[in-house]
């Protein structure tokens, strides 16, 4: 019998973090690996944000912070939501946590009872299903493939709803596909949700600023369901601050209160220094966000063009985030000498060992047959990685 609880025993480890770790180990052993596994901006945190953190240390922001975050940071988040999203929130509706991951998990914990169903459009980020399992909820996945640009329809959503449905987890722009729901698509989903007032919508908008469309819309724009939407966002992706660990939830006061209670017993307020840095990110110039966005758009164009040239890959043109999610199942069954590719995971491992490029198997995102490449790396790395993948793939017969 294991000393570890069933709850944790049955949890899958994060495949994105595991693959990144593997590639770091190979790198440390001297192998020239191009890491396209983990999704994090390769830029340094902008200087004005780093300066704010240094000032916070000198000004002795060194004690426990309020459990939901400093009021000044929550006000900065409210200003951001009003300025950029046109929605008015009060600071009492904001809870700052240890990254968007923490606030998503807290929201799931605060909302889901054992047996409650949580609807998850897939492909979905690796942690969604596991968070629901931790809360003893039932993940109900709804699948959309490359032919529908990885977006579920209103009819699919309607068909997935039962009397046990409690939460919908919607991620746009999406990890792992880069797809963005248009205003019309969100409107159609909102119309379905308007008929089911018991469902809470967790809108994960962490990639909001990394988009290549005219405007990114939020499901919270629809009046009829707005009071049931919990927005999840943070500074990790927009400001290249993954290591600072600041994210937030913005939603109904009762949910913010419940999440604050949970944090009060579990984690307390998050790092005081990182909060002051995040405040500077939201209150300062937004030019850095636009500069990084442009770089990601250029890289999207590079990777799509090169990926389209790899025989056997089906590729779409992602509108946001920094991921490409090609369909690669044509390589399953091929071989190179004695080595047989029996699954996409084998193909991913083959690419790591043969091409020294680290990617992630789509199965980790509930999408077998696909794989994920993060193009949050230099233009040269992208070109070299695609060259290596093409060459290694050509050896598979
Ligand atoms: N949601 C999605 C879809 C993500 O890809 C990530 C990044 N791992 C997160 C949430 C969490 O971001 P963080 O905790 O760094 O704010
Ligand atoms: N969002 C990143 C990814 O999907 C970070 C790793 C993680 O937290 O899973 O690769």
Domain presence at residue 76? yes
| Cβ 175 under 6 angstroms from ligand 1 | yes
**Same structural domain, 99 and 25:** no
Q: Does the pLDDT at position 5 exceed 80?
A: yes
- Three-state SS for 157? helix
In this structure, what token pair is assigned to residue 304?
A: 């799509």
pTM (predicted TM-score) = 0.97
Segment 198-206 mean pLDDT: 98
**Same structural domain, 257 and 334:** no
Domain presence at residue 382? yes
Q: What is the mean pLDDT of the chain?
A: 97
> Under a CB-based contact definition with an 8 Å cutoff, are residues 199 and 228 in contact?
yes
Question: How many angstroms is it from 242 CA to the middle of ligand 2?
Answer: 9
**Same structural domain, 25 and 68:** no
Domain presence at residue 210? yes
pLDDT of residue 212: 98
Which of left, alpha, beta for 211 (phi over 0: left; psi -120 to 50: alpha)? beta
Query: Predicted confidence band at 14 (pLDDT cuts at 50, 70, 90)?
Result: confident
Residues with Cβ within 8 Å of residue 313, at least 6 apart in sequence: 307, 326, 327, 328, 330
Segment 205-225 mean pLDDT: 97
**Same structural domain, 301 and 263:** no
pLDDT of residue 20: 86
Query: Predicted confidence band at 378 (pLDDT cuts at 50, 70, 90)?
Result: very high
| Cβ 121 under 6 angstroms from ligand 1 | no
**Same structural domain, 294 and 342:** yes
pLDDT of residue 30: 93
Give the number of whichever ligand sits closest to the CA of residue 123.
1
Segment 161-187 mean pLDDT: 98
Residue to mutate, 124, 174, 206, ligand 1, most ligand atoms under 8 Å from C-beta = 206
Domain presence at residue 1? no
Q: Which atom of ligand 1 is nearest to the CA of 171?
A: 3
Query: Predicted confidence band at 17 (pLDDT cuts at 50, 70, 90)?
Result: confident
Question: How many angstroms is it from 361 CA to the middle of ligand 2?
Answer: 13
Q: Does the pLDDT at position 1 exceed 80?
A: no
Burial class (CB in 10 A: 0-12, 13-18, 19+), 133: middle
**Same structural domain, 235 and 296:** no
**Same structural domain, 208 and 303:** no
Look at the chain and report how many structural domains it folds into: 2
**Same structural domain, 296 and 318:** yes
Question: How many angstroms is it from 255 CA to the middle of ligand 1?
Answer: 20
Question: How many angstroms is it from 126 CA to the middle of ligand 1?
Answer: 10
Query: Which of 284, 307, 329 is the C-terminal boundary of a domain?
Result: 284
Give the number of whichever ligand sits closest to the CA of residue 128.
1
CATH number at residue 82: 3.40.640.10
- Three-state SS for 256? helix
In this structure, what token pair is assigned to residue 341?
A: 């590719």
pLDDT of residue 69: 98
Q: Which atom of ligand 1 is nearest to the CA of 204?
A: 1
Q: Which residues pair with 336 in a beta bridge?
A: 339
Query: Which of 284, 299, 333 is the C-terminal boundary of a domain?
Result: 284
For ligand 2, atom 5, the nearest C-alpha belongs to: 39
**Same structural domain, 300 and 269:** no
Question: How many angstroms is it from 100 CA to the middle of ligand 1?
Answer: 5
pLDDT, one tens digit per residue, over 291-327 is 999 999 999 999 999 999 999 999 999 999 999 999 9
**Same structural domain, 271 and 339:** no
Give the number of whichever ligand sits closest to the CA of residue 179.
1
pLDDT of residue 12: 87
Domain presence at residue 181? yes
| Cβ 269 under 6 angstroms from ligand 2 | no
Which is nearest to 37 in space by CA: 52, 54, 21? 21
For ligand 1, atom 3, the nearest C-alpha belongs to: 175
pLDDT of residue 366: 97
For residue 370, give its domain range. Answer: 6-44+288-394
pLDDT, one tens digit per residue, over 93-129 is 999 999 999 999 999 999 999 999 999 999 999 999 9
In this structure, what token pair is assigned to residue 279?
A: 């405040």
Percent of the chain with pLDDT over 90: 95
pLDDT, one tens digit per residue, over 255-281 is 999 999 999 999 999 999 999 999 999
pLDDT, one tens digit per residue, over 224-251 is 999 999 999 999 999 999 999 999 999 9
| Cβ 393 under 6 angstroms from ligand 2 | no
**Same structural domain, 253 and 241:** yes
Higher-confidence residue of 38 and 192: namely: 192
pLDDT of residue 38: 87
pLDDT, one tens digit per residue, over 49-65 is 999 999 999 999 999 99
Query: Which of 262, 284, 306 is the C-terminal boundary of a domain?
Result: 284
**Same structural domain, 357 and 233:** no
pLDDT of residue 16: 85
Q: Does the pLDDT at position 15 exceed 90?
A: no
pLDDT, one tens digit per residue, over 344-353 is 999 999 999 9
Give the number of whichever ligand sits closest to the CA of residue 102.
1
Which strand (E) or helix (H) includes residue 346? helix 344-350
| Cβ 16 under 6 angstroms from ligand 2 | yes
Q: Does the pLDDT at position 90 exceed 80?
A: yes
Distance CA 185, CA 349 (A): 36
Query: Predicted confidence band at 355 (pLDDT cuts at 50, 70, 90)?
Result: very high
Q: Does the pLDDT at position 340 exceed 80?
A: yes
User: Phi and psi at residue 361, in whole multiples of 5°?
Assistant: -65, 130
Give the number of whichever ligand sits closest to the CA of residue 40.
2
Query: Predicted confidence band at 79 (pLDDT cuts at 50, 70, 90)?
Result: very high
Domain presence at residue 118? yes
CATH number at residue 344: 3.90.1150.10
């Amino acid at each position: 019998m294991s000393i570890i609880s069933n709850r944790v025993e049955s949890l899958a480890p994060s495949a994105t973090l595991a693959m990144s770790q593997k590639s770091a180990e190979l790198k440390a052993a001297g192998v020239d690996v191009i890491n396209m596994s983990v999704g994090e901006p390769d830029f340094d945190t902008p200087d004005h944000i780093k300066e704010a953190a240094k000032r916070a240390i000198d000004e002795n922001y060194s004690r426990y912070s309020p459990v939901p975050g400093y009021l000044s940071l929550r006000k900065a988040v409210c200003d951001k939501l009003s300025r950029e999203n046109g929605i008015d929130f009060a600071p009492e509706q904001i809870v700052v946590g240890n990254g968007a991951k923490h606030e998503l998990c807290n929201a799931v914990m605060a909302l889901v009872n054992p047996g409650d169903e949580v609807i998850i459009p897939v492909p979905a980020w690796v942690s969604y299903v596991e968070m629901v399992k931790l809360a003893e909820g039932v993940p109900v996945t709804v699948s959309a493939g490359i032919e529908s640009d990885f977006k579920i329809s209103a009819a699919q959503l309607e068909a997935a709803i039962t009397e046990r449905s409690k939460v919908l987890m919607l991620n746009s722009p999406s990890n792992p596909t880069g797809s963005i729901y248009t205003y019309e698509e969100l409107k159609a989903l909102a119309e379905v949700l308007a008929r089911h007032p018991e469902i809470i919508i967790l809108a994960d908008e962490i990639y909001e600023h990394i988009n290549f469309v005219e405007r990114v819309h939020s499901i919270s724009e629809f009046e009829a369901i707005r009071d049931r939407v919990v927005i999840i966002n943070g500074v990790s992706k927009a400001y290249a601050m993954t290591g600072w660990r600041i994210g937030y939830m913005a939603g109904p006061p009762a949910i913010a209160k419940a999440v604050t209670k949970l944090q009060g017993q579990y984690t307390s307020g998050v790092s005081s220094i990182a909060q002051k840095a995040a405040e500077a990110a939201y209150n300062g110039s937004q030019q850095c966000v636009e500069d990084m966005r442009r770089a990601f758009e250029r890289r999207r164009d590079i990777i799509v063009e090169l990926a389209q040239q790899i025989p056997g890959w089906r590729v779409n043109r992602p509108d946001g985030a920094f991921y490409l999610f090609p369909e690669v199942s044509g390589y399953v069954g091929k071989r190179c000498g004695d080595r047989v590719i029996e699954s996409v995971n084998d193909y991913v491992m083959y690419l790591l060992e043969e091409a020294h490029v680290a990617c992630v198997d789509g199965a980790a995102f509930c999408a077998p047959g696909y794989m994920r490449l993060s193009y949050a790396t230099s233009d040269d790395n992208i070109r070299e990685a695609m060259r290596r993948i093409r060459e290694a793939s050509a050896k598979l017969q």
